Amino acid sequence: MTWKTVYIWYAVIKENSMIIIYHCFGGSHSSVTAAAIHLGLISSDKTPSSDEIMALPYFDKTTDHDFGSLRFMGFDDQNNAVYVLGKKSQSDRFSNVLMGIAELLGKKDEVVAVNTMGRVNWSMKLGGFTSRRIGAARFGRPVVLKGTQKAFWELVNLVEMTKFKILNRAQ
Amino acid sequence: MKIIFLGMTGVHQALIAGYYYLGQKPDADFKNLKGFADVKLEISGFPILLGQDQNDNMVYALGCETDILMMKKTIEQLRDILGGEPGELVVLPVTIPQEKLLLWLTSLAGVIGAGRWYFYVSRLIARRKLLPIYDQVKQFEARIIQH
């Protein structure tokens, strides 16, 4: 599905919906997990199993080509379009960059950018690096999965805060 | 149309290119370039408004910290997702060989504070690269006319 199709779909379904962008280093682990929690693709009531996490779209499957690409994950229950993005080592200011661009286009209120890097633990960093950067998924994947399970409740908390922020904006 | 000059930092080569596009060259001490080597502007992450060209296009400078082409791709995709037309927002990358050094200095200035040293060192580096920056702007002008 291309971004054009997504936009048309998004525009048709609901004019007042928002675009939520979860971003992390590779757009492969923490942002994907947060987006999945947001969309209800995995339950936020219990820590997901490794198989459940691996079944998520894009999880530990991205390549270098995906850096900087806004990848559509789905629509939430409010018809907001949820995207994930890998931004490499850009700092916290990256959310402001995205918001600044939205403001230039007169769409500041339609975009919410969420940095998931603050919820990433060392297991996720080490496992993610081994799996995606070095390409040794066999060794890195179990580590990043453990790390994701460990960070799960932190990510649930971040998603809840994001949903609260969206609710406040909508009001 | 909005024109964004995109550099690894937004307060050096991208800003000089934007001002040059608007017809303003730096004077001897660079004091006429508002925002040059302003670390607070850089850290904020927001596009820096430089002015308006003769066709009423708004001109901005923006820093991207790491990969310029990756950031260009992100901005253009976001524009498209938000329903913007390609001609509504144009991103023009500006590069110089010392951009990583300027980025590193900016990071350092963010930690230890940007005193005069940051401005002077930035100016020293940028002054030597004005011609390549101007050349890039001249190439962009042809592209902007197309839009």
pLDDT in tens, B77-131: 999 999 888 889 999 999 999 999 999 999 898 888 877 899 999 999 999 989 9
- Look at residue A135 and tell me if it is in a domain: no
pLDDT for B28 equals 86
Domain count, chain B: 1
The reported pLDDT for the residue numbered B146 is: 67
pLDDT score of B79 = 94
Q: Which residues of B touch A (CB under 8 A)?
A: 2, 4, 43-47, 58, 60, 62, 64-67, 69-71, 73-75, 77-84, 88-89
B73 vs A7, A11, A69: nearest CB: A69
pLDDT at site A9: 56
| Cβ density class B129-146: b for 16+ within 10 Å, e for less | bbeebeebbeebeeebee
Tell me which residue range forms the domain holding B82.
2-146
Mean pLDDT of chain B, nearest integer: 91
Secondary structure (3-state) at B50: strand
Structure confidence at residue A11 (pLDDT): 56
Q: Which of A128-137, A160-169, B100-109 has the lowest mean pLDDT?
A: A128-137
Calculate how close chain B gets to A98, using CA atoms only, in Å.
Answer: 8
Number of domains in chain A: 1
Residue A130, in any domain of the structure = no
- Say which of B64, B77, B88 has its CB closest to residue A69: B77
Domain holding A81, by residue range, is 3-118
**From B2, B70, B84, residue closest to A88, measured CB to CB:** B70
Asked if residue A87 belongs to a domain, the reply is: yes
Q: How many CB pairs under 8 A join A and B?
A: 92
Parallel, antiparallel, or unpaired: how do β-strands A71-75 and A81-86 relate?
A: antiparallel
The answer to whether residue B3 scores a pLDDT higher than 60 is yes
Inter-chain contact A105–B89, Cβ cutoff 8 Å?
yes
For B60, the token pair is 């901005």
Annotate A67-105 with DSSP letters as a single string: BT--EEEEE-TT--EEEEEE-TT--TTHHHHHHHHHHHT
- The chain A residue lying nearest B48, using CA atoms, is A100
- Asked whether residue A17 is assigned to any structural domain, the reply reads yes
Tell me the shortest Cα–Cα distance from A167 to chain B, in angstroms: 20
B143 pLDDT more than 90: no
Number of Cβ within 10 Å of residue A50's Cβ equals 13
Contact list, B2 vs chain A (CB under 8 Å):
104-105
Tens of pLDDT, residue by residue over A71-98, are 999 999 988 999 999 998 888 889 999 9
